[in-house]
Amino acid sequence: MTDLSNKHLVLGLSGGIACYKAAEFCRALVKQGATVQVVMTEAAAQFITPVTMQALSNRTVFVSQWDAREPNNMAHINLSREADAIIVAPASADFMAKLLHGRADDLLSLMCLARPLDTVPLVLAPAMNREMWAHPATQRNMAQLRADGAHVLGVGQGEQACGETGDGRMLEPEELLQEVVALFQPKVLQGKQVLISAGPTFEAIDPVRGITNLSSGKMGFALARAAHEAGAQVTLVAGPVALPTPNGVQRTDVRSALQMHAAVMAHAPRADLFIATAAVADWRPAQAATEKIKKDGSGHMPTVVWQENPDILAELAASPRAQSGALFCVGFAAESQDLQAQAQAKRLRKGVPLMVGNIGPATFGADENALLLIDPQGSTEWPRASKLSLARQLVADIARRLT
Ligand code: CTP
């Protein structure tokens, strides 16, 4: 099973240079298991040919509302009835203005208007020049389209095909894919604020070296993605890792345990749920040297005086909001042996309702993991699976505990 197995999607292209990205997006949807029916406006066919989209989707493309291929000659009805979602990428400023007014003078807009509102979601991926994006008319139109039930995605920022720089680029194919996958995930954390710590910390000894650990941050990033898919507002406080930010997640990068502590505490007052996946260094040099420490010829490593770092999870779990039930805290125990006993003891020591145990050396850097959930009732083993699928399971499990 892939993320879009058994899903049938209509991919609509309106006219814009971002049509070139729609080709790769189409391929990504197919790779995730979806069947894709492409519908293009005539303007889109000026930017990329239907031949390309047919080859990528393995289906003939529809452009004209007068296309007689459908026996009843009602492509707009037939194609929209069989779809699990209609995704328009790129959605030009002109196309959105048209949708807003319920106009339907080409097949794609006709199909959007004719779609069953309650069962076929409409996703719009805007793409346009930065001035067009910022124009009050566009912003007003998007607000109204959202009010009418469309999922209007954000845009990327950066260099544009016109040579200008700013907001308005269509999201990248991988980001669009994440949004489409999210569309079909159950919204079990809708309206919740979720705070996640992830990755290792780095404790400087001097300006060129320090102490860290092997945590890759992958489990925390997978949880951030899963929580976003479940409808939560997600803040991810990440130690030094080279992972892309999951789409829709607000990320704060930190380096040391003290910085992670400050960032988590700053966001905690608004959080409903804190998941501590970070492998926080237990100790830091009491005083980092300001200049590089040189060998002194003695053959011995210079002595470093260590100071214990604050325990972020234990501190939050003991806070009045956590004690009153307003903030639910989940810990991760990375052990190398005796997982059950160690994680059980750690749950009590940290004062959290749920501790998730895993064997650090078996999972650090990997895309898979196996989990052991420990709560006051006992323990449950979750067998080895991808971190994303475990993250989705864990989000669903935690959501049940919140209600
Ligand atoms: N944790 C934290 N702040 C710390 C240390 C740990 O928030 N200073 C959190 C981790 O994010 C994790 C949990 O506490 O959710 C357990 O972390 P772990 O490193 O496994 O435990 P330690 O507290 O270091 O305990 P021990 O040294 O006994 O392994």
Residues 6+ apart with CB under 8 A from 93: 126, 128, 132, 133, 135, 138, 141
Determine the CATH number of domain 8-183.
3.40.50.1950
If one counts every other C-beta atom within 10 angstroms of the C-beta of residue 291, the result is 8
Fold match between domain 8-183 and domain 193-289+300-402: yes
Atom 8 (ligand 1): residue with closest C-alpha?
Answer: 311
For position 64, what pLDDT does the model report?
A: 95
> If DSSP states are collapsed to H, E and C, what string results for 284-306?
EECCCCCCCCCCCCCCCCCCCCE
Inter-axis angle of helices 19-31 and 173-183, nearest 10: 50
For position 219, what pLDDT does the model report?
A: 97
Pocket residue to mutate for ligand 1, from 307, 309, 346, most atoms within 8 A of Cβ: 346
280 lines ligand 1 (CB under 6 A): yes
For position 302, what pLDDT does the model report?
A: 87
Distance 346 CA to ligand 1 centre (A): 8
201 lines ligand 1 (CB under 6 A): no
For position 1, what pLDDT does the model report?
A: 86
Q: 29 vs 38, 76, 136, 281, 373, CA distance in Å? A: 12, 22, 33, 40, 33
Positions of the chain with pLDDT under 70: none
3-state class (DSSP) for residue 369: strand
The residues carrying an active-site annotation are: 162
For position 289, what pLDDT does the model report?
A: 93
Q: Which atom of ligand 1 is the closest one to the Cα of 264?
A: 7
Q: Which atom of ligand 1 is the closest one to the Cα of 355?
A: 15
Distance 252 CA to ligand 1 centre (A): 20
d(CA 278, CA 85): 36
Two structure tokens written together for 384: 């080895």
Distance 314 CA to ligand 1 centre (A): 9
For residue 368, the cross-strand partners are 386
Residues 6+ apart with CB under 8 A from 192: 227, 231, 232, 233, 272, 273, 402
Distance 32 CA to ligand 1 centre (A): 36
Pocket residue to mutate for ligand 1, from 195, 313, 352, most atoms within 8 A of Cβ: 313
For position 19, what pLDDT does the model report?
A: 98
For position 403, what pLDDT does the model report?
A: 79
Q: Which atom of ligand 1 is the closest one to the Cα of 310?
A: 8
Each residue of 140-181: pLDDT tens digit? 999 999 999 999 999 999 998 889 899 999 999 999 999 999
Instruction: Give yes or no for a contact between 29 and 4, defined as CB atoms under 8 angstroms apart.
Output: yes
* Four-point Cα dihedral 85, 91, 93, 94, nearest 10: -80
279 lines ligand 1 (CB under 6 A): yes
The domain ranges of the chain are 8-183, 193-289+300-402
Atom 12 (ligand 1): residue with closest C-alpha?
Answer: 332
For position 363, what pLDDT does the model report?
A: 87
Strands 306-308 and 283-285: antiparallel
For position 251, what pLDDT does the model report?
A: 98
- Fold assignment, 193-289+300-402: Rossmann fold (3.40.50)
d(CA 48, CA 328): 50
Distance 118 CA to ligand 1 centre (A): 46
d(CA 171, CA 186): 23
Each residue of 234-269: pLDDT tens digit? 999 999 999 999 999 999 999 999 999 999 999 999
Atom 18 (ligand 1): residue with closest C-alpha?
Answer: 333
Rg (CA), the chain: 25
